[in-house]
Structure 1
Amino acid sequence: METPMSTLTKSVPPAAPSPVHGAPVQPGWLRVTHWLNVLAVVAMIMSGWRIYNASPIFAFRFPNEITLGGWLGGALQWHFAAMWLLAANGLIYLAMNLASGRFSRRFFPLTPIGVVRELVAALRGRLAHDDPGHYNQVQRAAYLFAVLDLVLLVASGLAIWKPVQLGWLVAVFGGFQGARLVHFIAMAGLVAFIAVHVAMVALVPRTLRTMITGR
């Protein structure tokens, strides 16, 4: 015969386990490579502007106050140092994204209709940012553009750096001046992406905290 106490014990469900903190929205390897990429890209852009000023393609020059290197030789040293950091860190970033499956989870699916629809929603201020771990299709398109633009930037930069040894790559860009033009346009595209990215972070400051703390 069961006692009232034993009946009560059976009717009470087991205590729920204490909550455990979930995985970070942005893993540590991503945060480290992200900020190293930021450092490398900023150094490359500012030193690249000084290098451009030494032999401009168009009828304008960048103000020396926003360039890096002090003179052509110094700018080239900064540029090459940042280039190796960007190349090594970028390869680690891509390898980790692909190996972890994050690349396919975060950047796909992606369709032109989806990008247009969510871009219109963003311009109307109706695009939700409830989940920092989920990228909308506008973000996916922007980040993919940045990745591809960086690949083009590195490839055209290599063609400019070693035009004799990499003659086949120079030919792909239509010659040395063609490689310079592509490099400049890719740089301008990257600057535009950074400007939009910073504006989006200003609108949703939580994304900056997530990239620093992971949560």
Structure 2
Amino acid sequence: MSALPTSTSVTSPRPVISHPRWLRLTHWLNALAVLVMVTSGWRIYNASPLYGFSFPTSITLGGWLGGALQWHFAAMWLLVFNGLVYLIINVASGRLSRRFFPVSPKGVMRDLWAALRGRLGHADLNHYNQVQRVAYLLVMVDIAMMVVSGLVLWKSVQFATLRELMGGYEGARHVHFIAMALLMGFVAVHLVMVALVPKTLWAMIVGRKERV
């Protein structure tokens, strides 16, 4: 009696969730808010330059000071509320501790050295190396400083304590500008990394990759 043929099943690649929907939504809303805030902020800066230069009008938003202020405040509220949603979900779900910790000077230097030599792996998009962890944590703090200093510039009398902690109104202007510059530095590096590892952009758009 011949043995029954055994069936072989072909396992097709299964999609793996790399970024949940809420993360992708808050990421792109944050990107939009930052773009509007920075370009309108440059127009506001041009109305009273803090340093010895101005930004080209072609890359600013608002057309005039009043219009730039309206765009700036609208984007500010989007950034604040969207940022709070992002932070609350990260903390409540435990994602903050899983993705961004632990961090150590030794680990950061190890991963930085590996990155400089082109030996830092990107196979698992769910894993952040320690350089990424520090960068994301610092940008969270930077955005918070940008918002706090912006509140001082917006309502200087109402936030008098914060104003004094920042060295007065002009001090708050310096803090706000430096925080913006650091954020733009982060964005520039972020875009370079996306260009080097394009699948990270696709994962942030569709939220999944194929498991081979």
Report what 1:207 is aligned to. Answer: 200
TM-score, structure 1 as length reference: 0.90
The one-character-per-residue Cα deviations of 1:108-134 (angstroms, maximum 9, x if unpaired) are 111111111111111111111111110
1:57-206 correspondence to structure 2 within 5 Å: 57-206=50-199
Code of the residue aligned with 1:77 in structure 2: it is Q
Counterpart CA distance in 1 for 2:87 and 2:15 is 24
The Cα RMSD (Å) is: 1.8
Number of equivalent positions: 205
Name the SS for the 1:209 alignment partner: helix
Structure possessing the higher radius of gyration over alpha carbons: 1
Amino acid at match of 1:40: A
Return the alpha-carbon distance in structure 2 between the equivalents of residues 112 and 152 of structure 1: 24
* Matched residue type, 1:123: L
The Cα offsets for residues 45-78 of structure 1, whole Å up to 9 and x where unpaired, read as 0000000000111000000111100011110000
Structure 1 residue 52 and structure 2 residue 40: aligned?
A: no
**Equivalent position SS for 1:52:** helix
Please give the alpha-carbon distance, in whole angstroms, between the structure 2 residues aligned to 1:21 and 1:30.
Answer: 21
Kindly, what percent of the aligned residue pairs are identical? 61
One-letter amino acid of the structure 2 residue matched with residue 170 of structure 1: R
Q: Structure 1: which 4+ aligned runs deviate by more than 3 Å?
A: 18-23
Unpaired segments ≥5 residues, structure 1: none
Superposition deviation, residue 168 in structure 1? 0.8
Residue 22 to residue 209, structure 1, CA distance change in 2 (3 Å): closer
Is 1:28–2:21 an aligned residue pair?
Answer: yes
Q: Which has the higher contact order (CA 8 A, sep 6+)?
A: 2
Secondary structure of the corresponding residue to residue 18 of structure 2: coil
Paired amino acid for 1:39: L
Query: Aligned-pair distance for 1:19?
Result: 8.0
Structure 2: gaps (5+ residues)? none
| TM superposition shift of 1:23 | 5.5
